[in-house]
Structures are given as C-alpha cells and as structure tokens.
Amino acid sequence: METEQLRKTIEKVQAGDTVAYEALLAAYGSRLYGYFYRATGHHHDAEDLLSECTLRLVRTLKNYDDRGRFEPWLFRIAANLVRDRIRRSKTRPRPISLSVEDDNGKSFAAELPGDCPAADANALAAEASWEVRQAMESLDEPTRQMILLRHFGDMSFKEIAKVFECPLGTTLAKVHRGLAKLRKILEANSSNHVGYAVPAGNGEVKL
C-alpha cells in the first residue's frame, strides 16, 4: 500500500470506517500470518496470533499518530505477541522446514531478498532441511525473530531495528551472526556457497 494511500486509509479507520479497516487487514494480513506461522511453526497458533493482532489493532489504532512508521509499529505489536506466546508456553516453537512450501506455496528460498542470486536461493532450498532447522533453533530468540521479520515480514533492517527498539548496528550484527551460522552449516554439508547481502551504512556487508 502506497504511503499516501496508507495514510488516508488509517485516517478513515480512525474515523470508524469499517471498509477501510478491512482494506488495511487485506493489505497486511498475509504478511502477518506468514510471520506468525514461521515464528511458531503451527497454523493454529498463527491464526490465534493474527486474531489477537487484529483485536489489538482495533484497540490501539485510534490513538496511533501516523508519522510514516505504521509498518514498524504494526510488526512491533506482532513481535511482542509472539514473544508473549513463547514466554507463556515456556517452550521454543516447533522447528519448521525452511525449504518446504507453506499453504500459499511460498518457501524460505523463494522469499529471500531480491539481490540473492536464484542459484543461491535454490541451493539454500536444497540444503535447508534438518541442519538449518537445528541452526535456527540454536539462535537466541531476538536474532531468530529478526531473521523471520526480515525474510517473512518483508521488513528492512531499519524497520526491524525500530521494532526491537535497538540501534541499527546492533540489528545488523545480530542478523549477520545468525545468517553466518546458517551459512557455516550449509558450507559444511555442501560445496554450494550461499551469499547474503546486508545493506549497511556506506555499502554492503557480505555474509
């Protein structure tokens, strides 16, 4: 949704326009569900979290002050809901395959950033089975959530930094270490080398 269209839609929702609210959910519902599913590993939990998120949106959007930061604000709510769910369950989410397609036919490799070569994405899909799932499980929860938000929430690193309320450099460092760990596992089991490009500062940091 374009910036100006989003601003007008939010204003209509705040004025009580139910049609505008439905349009807002249609614009972000799929991304939210994808994030929730990959964060928890369960369709049922993803559906519950999406319902919680929409209810939270209804309660809080009326007080939202739009300054062009809606997506970080929305996904901060989503990330907090995931953390609360994990904290209440006192267990880590069930690991899910990053190579297997979800109900919408999307896989981890298919949703890698556009600057990742197709061959590398295919190599990741081929290797991203048990080893990568285990590596994802070994990451600390903030890093794991940052990677999920990056690839499945389609968020920029600046937006993720806002969600976790931490410096951009810290966000980049966490994601760097997390992806480097995944790459190390892949390189130990395959001759294919997967490269990630992380935009940062004055250039790119190759992971």
| Per-residue pLDDT at 127 | 42
* Number of C-beta neighbours around residue 64 at 10 A: 15
Least confident of 5-14, 122-131, 186-195: 122-131
Say if residues 192 and 127 touch (Cβ distance below 8 Å): yes
Of 26-35, 53-62, 116-125, the range with the lowest mean pLDDT is 116-125
Fold of 109-206: Arc Repressor Mutant, subunit A (1.10.10)
pLDDT at 90: 61
Beta bridge pairs of residue 199: 204
- Per domain, the residue ranges of the chain are 3-89, 109-206
Report the predicted TM-score, pTM, of the whole model to 2 decimal places: 0.66
Q: List C-alpha distances in Å: 146 to 58, 66, 172.
A: 25, 24, 9
pLDDT 10s digits, 129-144: 466 666 777 788 888 8
Predicted confidence band of residue 186 (pLDDT cuts 50, 70, 90):
low
Query: pLDDT by residue (tens digit) across 162-178?
Result: 888 889 999 999 999 88
CB 110 within 8 A of CB 121: yes
Helix ranges restricted to H, the chain: 3-14, 18-40, 43-60, 70-89, 118-127, 130-138, 141-152, 157-163, 168-189
Looking at domain 3-89, its CATH architecture is Orthogonal Bundle (1.10)
